[in-house]
């Protein structure tokens, strides 16, 4: 038997009908690829989720879904959660369960979440700057590497917070923030976020504002009497859209600060005892906040994902069987259509074995090409999965 000749004849037959051959390769490759891609995504998401959850020992937040709280605090997903009052945070700090880091995750700028926090957050995540300097005052921000690259931003540039709803005229006031530094990439949600001081987020909330200086002559907001010598001043509230060296002194907060909103607080106990105490503290029924172990929340989420994966895999397997059945039928029909050609081979002197090998070779070329394509697509998916997941989670 001349295997080279058989391979040559098979290749010629496949090349003669390129559309049919490519459709077969494509459909078999997709049939093989989908379950594989799903598996890659689920396992990668578990890894991505767990990595971040491991570095976040405990979370305190408002009552509700522990998964939503975890996703919002760790991956800055835009969940609609009730606020954690600043007073509750102060109460947590006073308990001395370890380091506490406040998080405010509500607003967005340039398509990225604005995270109001303290410098301790950067220590917790091991974040460093690749350019510029840290936040030094209200209205300053440092941004993630991916956001900087995507928007071509550098220290000294500015970024404006987005209104939550363009039809809500009384809603939050856009704030122009000064970028002071760019964070080194760490392949997490931090790469695509804007970090500001907690108070800056309260300015965006509209909880802080400035007043105009009455002595400033020529200000249009001040009304003058008709003779021009008398200035009738009022203490009208001005919403500055940028914090500058000239207006920073005029910013002040009104109202009870203990009612100011946060999203959650990260608690980093120094030891097991502090951790146990923190967990026990939030068992009290009178306390309206909840404490969450992010790793457990993520494990719960992963188990839900695995259950979904099992269901999807079953569906993919059934679809795969149907697709393979169709491919088999296409092969059989194709061989039936080429009966005359195969009979010619037989008449000239090809044995049944040679003809069987010829058909087998064609099927093998298609299946091997499809498997190769599926493996390549799988490898590509594995390489881009973390980035895609990071984008999906944000």
Partner 1 sequence: MKPLLQVEKVEFSYPRSPYRMRIEEFTCNPGQTVAIVGPSGCGKTTFLNLIAGILQPEQGRIEVDGVELNSLRPTRSAAFRLSRMGLIFQEFELVEHLSVGDNILLPLHLGLRNDRASLESTAKQLAEKMGIERYWSILPASLSHGERQRAAICRALSTSPTLVLADEPTGNLDSSNKHRTVRLMIDSARKNQQALVVATHDVELLDSFDRVIHFEDLNQSREPTCP
CA distance 238 to 247: 11
Tell me the closest approach of the beta carbon of residue 364 to partner 1, in angstroms.
17
Cβ proximity of 142 and 183 under 8 Å: yes
Kindly report the backbone phi and psi dihedral angles of residue 233, in degrees, each rounded to the nearest multiple of 5, phi listed first.
-95, 155
Tell me the closest approach of the beta carbon of residue 20 to partner 1, in angstroms.
12
Cβ proximity of 132 and 184 under 8 Å: no
Of 258 and 344, nearer to partner 1 (C-beta) is: 344
Of 6 and 143, nearer to partner 1 (C-beta) is: 6
Tell me the closest approach of the beta carbon of residue 12 to partner 1, in angstroms.
5
Of 281 and 335, nearer to partner 1 (C-beta) is: 335
Kindly report the backbone phi and psi dihedral angles of residue 232, in degrees, each rounded to the nearest multiple of 5, phi listed first.
-95, 105
Of 170 and 348, nearer to partner 1 (C-beta) is: 348
Of 153 and 330, nearer to partner 1 (C-beta) is: 330
Of 312 and 330, nearer to partner 1 (C-beta) is: 330
CA distance 60 to 267: 7
CA distance 31 to 169: 51
Tell me the closest approach of the beta carbon of residue 326 to partner 1, in angstroms.
23
Q: Which residues contact 370 (CB under 8 A, 6 or more apart)?
A: 24, 25, 26, 27, 28, 29, 31, 32
Of 3 and 230, nearer to partner 1 (C-beta) is: 3
Cβ proximity of 69 and 291 under 8 Å: no
CA distance 300 to 77: 17
Cβ proximity of 141 and 251 under 8 Å: no
Of 3 and 238, nearer to partner 1 (C-beta) is: 3
Pairing between strand 112-117 and 194-197? parallel
Residue in the block written with tokens 């390769």: 25
Tell me the closest approach of the beta carbon of residue 327 to partner 1, in angstroms.
21
Of 11 and 306, nearer to partner 1 (C-beta) is: 11
Using DSSP's 3-state secondary structure scheme, residue 146 falls into helix
CA distance 174 to 180: 19
CA distance 131 to 343: 74
Tell me the closest approach of the beta carbon of residue 329 to partner 1, in angstroms.
21
Tell me the closest approach of the beta carbon of residue 25 to partner 1, in angstroms.
18
Tell me the closest approach of the beta carbon of residue 348 to partner 1, in angstroms.
6
In a 10 Å sphere around its CB, with 0-12 CB exposed, 13-18 middle and 19+ buried, how is residue 34 labelled? Answer: buried
**Two structure tokens written together for 284:** 């009290």
Positions that interact with partner 1 (CB under 8 A): 1-2, 5-6, 8-9, 12-13, 15-16, 340-341, 344-354
Tell me the closest approach of the beta carbon of residue 78 to partner 1, in angstroms.
57
């Amino acid at each position: 038997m001349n295997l080279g000749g058989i391979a040559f004849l098979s290749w010629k037959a496949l090349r003669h009908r390129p559309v049919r051959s490519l459709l077969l390769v494509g459909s078999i490759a997709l049939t093989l690829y989908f379950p594989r891609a799903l598996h890659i995504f689920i396992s990668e998401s578990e890894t991505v989720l767990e990595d971040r959850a491991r570095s976040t020992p405990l979370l305190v937040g408002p009552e509700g879904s522990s998964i939503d709280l975890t996703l919002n605090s760790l991956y800055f997903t835009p969940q609609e959660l009730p606020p954690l009052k600043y007073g509750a945070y102060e109460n947590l700090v006073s308990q001395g369960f370890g380091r506490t880091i406040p998080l405010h995750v509500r607003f967005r700028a340039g398509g990225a979440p604005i995270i109001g926090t303290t410098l301790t957050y950067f220590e917790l995540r091991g974040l460093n700057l690749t350019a510029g300097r840290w936040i030094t005052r209200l209205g300053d921000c440092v941004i993630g590497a991916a956001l900087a690259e995507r928007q071509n931003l550098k220290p000294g540039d500015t970024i404006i917070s987005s209104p939550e709803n363009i039809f809500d005229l009384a809603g939050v006031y856009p704030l122009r923030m000064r970028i002071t530094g760019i964070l080194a990439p760490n392949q997490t949600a931090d790469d695509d976020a804007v970090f500001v001081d907690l108070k800056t987020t309260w300015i965006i909330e509209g909880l802080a504002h400035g007043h105009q200086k009455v002595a400033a002559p020529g200000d249009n907001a001040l009304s003058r009497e008709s003779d021009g010598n008398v200035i009738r001043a009022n203490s009208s509230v001005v919403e500055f859209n940028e914090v500058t060296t000239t207006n920073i002194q005029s910013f002040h907060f009104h109202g009870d600060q203990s009612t100011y909103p946060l999203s959650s607080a990260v608690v980093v106990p120094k030891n097991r005892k502090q951790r146990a105490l923190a967990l026990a503290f939030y068992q009290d029924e009178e306390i309206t906040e909840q404490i969450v172990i992010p790793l457990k929340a993520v494990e719960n989420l992963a188990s839900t994902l695995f259950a979904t994966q099992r269901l999807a895999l079953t569906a993919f397997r059934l679809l795969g069987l149907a697709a393979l059945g169709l491919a088999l039928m296409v092969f059989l029909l194709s061989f039936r259509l080429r009966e005359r050609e195969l009979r010619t081979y037989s008449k000239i002197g090809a044995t049944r074995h040679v003809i069987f090998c010829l058909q087998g070779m064609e099927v093998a070329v298609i299946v091997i090409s499809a498997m190769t394509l599926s493996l390549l697509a799988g490898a590509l998916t594995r390489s881009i999965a973390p980035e895609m997941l990071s984008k999906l989670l944000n």
